[in-house]
Amino acid sequence: MHFLVTGGAGFIGSHVAEHLLAAGHEVTVFDDLNPFYDPAIKRAALQVLERSGSGRFRFVQGDLVERPALDAVFAGGRIDQVIHLAARAGVRPSLQEPALYQRVNVEGTVNLLEAGRLAGVRKFILASSSSVYGVNAKVPFSEDDPIFRAISPYASSKLACEALGHTYHHVYGLDVVMLRFFTVYGPRQRPDLAIHKFARLIDSGRPVPVFGDGSTARDYTYVDDIVSGVLACTRREFGFGIYNLGESQTVTLSELISLLEQALGRKAVLDRQPLQPGDVPITYADISKARRDLGYDPRTKIAEGIPRFVEWFRRAGG
């Protein structure tokens, strides 16, 4: 089978592409290698995929908002399924550049859906985010919860992508599944994300910014577990489906820092700061639907995952 993985040079995308190649599939990665973080990190991931591909891997550098670039990808050979992981990510950066987030995430997604539809692709797996739940008083978060309280441009863009996915299923009969990821971490994690950033700061003895009193909680999910959920979606039809992919266990910011201190063998220097606009107090996934329909069964608890991450962090030189 031939998969198009957008954002395949990034953190989650490179892991998904690597597993698909290991299973014997063909993979085309589409990524713009933008400078949101050092493109050299993405190029290193592409080298891993190139070595893994045995001639079944192709990389195309392009921008989702440039429709001709996408048309050329689909014209270059039959694509059986699209796994759409490319996006401008992050709550706080989206507050600084809200128009960019809407353009890339929303316009880019509709470009991809339309180009793929016209090329005859029938199945799309699209990345959403736990951010769509906003400040949700009910925990854990269920796919049936109302999601009209987004509190960042990033979350709003992901809500729009979910609506587009449903529209393309309803109008054109495409098989579309939306996956709401909950705070993914692990090897090759983006350097701007909390676990990687905190590890780097703690290891170098620099202050760690702690927003609020440390009680905010996240459902941290190891990347291998996320990949297992994505791959499960490639093996069945949904019509239209929405699934939470999380660990279904919350960890406070203070607990996370403590786990990193233990794994790194160093004490953190804390820099207390006010809570930031757009941040939610908790994310917590109800994964019963994914367990039932996908056989999704996250196995890596945070106490095991953090030392694994630190082992990679040390090996990669921080």
Structural domain tally of the chain? 1
pLDDT tens-place string over residues 6-56: 999 999 999 999 999 999 999 999 999 999 999 999 999 999 999 987 889
- Report the chain's terminal Cα–Cα distance, integer Å: 36
**pTM of the complete model beyond 0.85:** yes
Helix, strand or coil for residue 300? coil
Nearest by Cα to 58 from 133, 8, 1, 128 = 8
For residue 92, tell me if it sits in a domain.
yes
Query: Considering the domain boundaries, does residue 120 fall inside one?
Result: yes
194 in any annotated domain: no
CA–CA dist 205, 268 (Å, integer) = 7
The active-site residue, picked from 101, 133, 154, 185, is 154
Examine residue 128 and state whether it is found in any structural domain, yes or no.
Answer: yes
Contacts of 186 (CB under 8 A, 6+ apart): 15, 222, 223, 224, 305, 308, 309, 312
Q: Is residue 142 part of a domain?
A: yes
- The DSSP code for 103 is I
Q: Is residue 256 part of a domain?
A: no
What band does 169 get if pLDDT is binned at 50, 70 and 90?
Answer: very high
Residue 106 lies in a domain: yes
169-196 burial: b if 16+ Cβ within 10 Å, else e: beeeebbbbbbbbbbbbbbbbbeebbbb
Residue 236 CA to residue 64 CA, distance in Å, equals 26
**Token pair belonging to 174:** 């495409």
Q: Which residue type is seen at 167?
A: T
* Number of residues assigned to the chain: 318
Residue pLDDT, tens place only, 100-149: 999 999 999 999 999 999 999 999 999 999 999 988 878 899 999 988 78
Beta-bridge partner residues of 26: 2
63 burial class (0-12, 13-18, 19+ CB within 10 angstroms)?
Answer: middle
Is 284 tagged catalytic? no
The CATH number linked to 42 is: 3.40.50.720
| Residue 46, CB-side half-sphere exposure with 13 Å CA sphere | 20
Provide the residue range defining the domain that includes 83: 2-184+222-248+284-298
Residue 53 is predicted with a pLDDT of 78
Q: What is the pLDDT of residues 275-318, one digit of tens each?
A: 887 778 899 999 999 999 999 999 999 999 999 999 999 998 77
Closest among 154, 176, 153 to 164, alpha carbons compared: 176
Residue 267 covered by a domain:
no
> Tokens in use for 226?
């996320």
